[in-house]
Amino acid sequence: MKNLTFFSSKVEEHNSEFGELREELTHSDEEEKYFRGVVDPLRATLCEFQDTSPIGSYWLTKLVIVLNILVALFTGGIFFITDEFAYKTYPSAVCIATGGCFLGIIFSMFSHANFLHLLGNMFFLYIVGDNIEITLGRLRYLIVYFVSGIVGAYTQALIMLAFDLGGAHIPMVGASAAISGLIGGYVLLYPGSAMCKCVGYRYVYKCFKVRASIYLVFWVLLQFLYVLISPFIAVWAHLGGFFTGLVLTYFLADRRRIKELREGIAKGRYRGISPQIEDVAEGSLGSVARGVIVFAATVLLLLVVTSAIIVLTSLEGYYIVYLKYVKTCLWSWVMMSEICGQDFVGADYNFTKVLPSSLEDIVSELPSLGDSRRILIYKPFAIYNLYNVSLTAVLLSATTVALFISVLYIMAGRYRDVEVV
């Protein structure tokens, strides 16, 4: 009878603690304004910037966001579209894969093609960056950011050379690969974090509380849809960065720090949206999420290895990039001479086995428009030796195999010791 009484008291004590924890993690009045009924566009936007975040300073993430905005504005990168500036400033796939443009990759991590590109990337950086910075610390945060961006750029470059040689001169720009690395780390550290997703039209929206593992694994699947939607999205850079960040985060994470943050969040010390009680109590990266991650890693592995084989067996010679201009000349009776203006209209390439002895401008007349005379000019801009791609192919293939093995190892259940939520 005495033992039974003791057992009953322990059960009541456990239920009491569990009830208190559940009460702490239920919707606060602040949250309810987002999830009860429908909301206006402003409130929906504010909700989508919410997630379960640990308490701590994250000024570095804010600084990176400010740098991205400043670089986009003051370099003209946000306006160039297909401008001459882009071709002369940002790295192309062929330049990256042949061993050049390393500094250009770093610069491109803070540049964007247009306002929507910048806005989308900064949204994800703000959501995941603070969690990663507070959890890993600032130095490790920067390692994940830059290494993911570099590996992602080389991954995209190699696949482009193998399967889209004609587009290998197009500038690659954006922080997407680096931010994708932070997303990979977030999936490991905060799969049970709550995120907000709102759907609606014009002035009426409905917001839902979504588990981060579901939200971000859907992001992984979305990359494969982008392949079909647009050839201008560097999907393979995103995935290369994602897996690099995932693996780096696992090996760089401080387990003692993880334990402290986990205990703090379980006691209600967090910012933003409250997680589910079940997500705090147990590991929440489910079998479906792990399956999607392994599937995507396998696809990337096969693509990189196949690309390396294609490059090593068929790409030899030289890749010459030409910038195209249209020169328009109009006869002026006042000046008694032609007045000419030149406009940049794009770029082209020429693939040759033998390096030409001289590289002169290629000029051809275009159909005239009224009194104007139009000339198309191809100016050689850069020459890349494709023999140099072999080293990139071998190194990147070895890196991808190591990443894939690491992903399998982590997804086998090793990830649980780095989960904060």
Are residues 247 and 356 located together in one domain of the fold? Answer: no
Identify the residue whose tokens are 């090793």. Answer: 414
- Report yes or no on whether pTM surpasses 0.95: no
pLDDT > 90? residue 323: yes
Are residues 273 and 359 located together in one domain of the fold? Answer: no
Query: DSSP characters for 224-249?
Result: HHHHHH-TTS-HHHHHHHHHHHHHHH
Helix 176-189, helix 115-136: angle, nearest 10: 40
Q: Is residue 288 part of a domain?
A: yes
Q: Which residues pair with 348 in a beta bridge?
A: 322
Arithmetic mean of pLDDT over the chain: 85
Residues 152-170, mean pLDDT to the nearest whole number: 92
pLDDT at 282: 55
Q: Which two tokens stand for residue 91?
A: 């790295």
Count of alpha carbons within 13 angstroms of residue 187, beta-carbon side: 30
Are residues 129 and 166 located together in one domain of the fold? Answer: yes
Residues 136-149, mean pLDDT to the nearest whole number: 96
Exposed/middle/buried for 185, CB within 10 Å: 0-12, 13-18, 19+? buried
Are residues 277 and 191 located together in one domain of the fold? Answer: yes
Instruction: State the CATH number of the domain containing residue 234.
Output: 1.20.1540.10
Domain that holds residue 364: 318-386
Q: How many domains does the chain fold into?
A: 2
Are residues 43 and 182 located together in one domain of the fold? Answer: yes
Are residues 359 and 401 located together in one domain of the fold? Answer: no
pLDDT at 114: 79
Contact 326, 376 (CB under 8 A): yes
Q: Which residues pair with 272 in a beta bridge?
A: 52
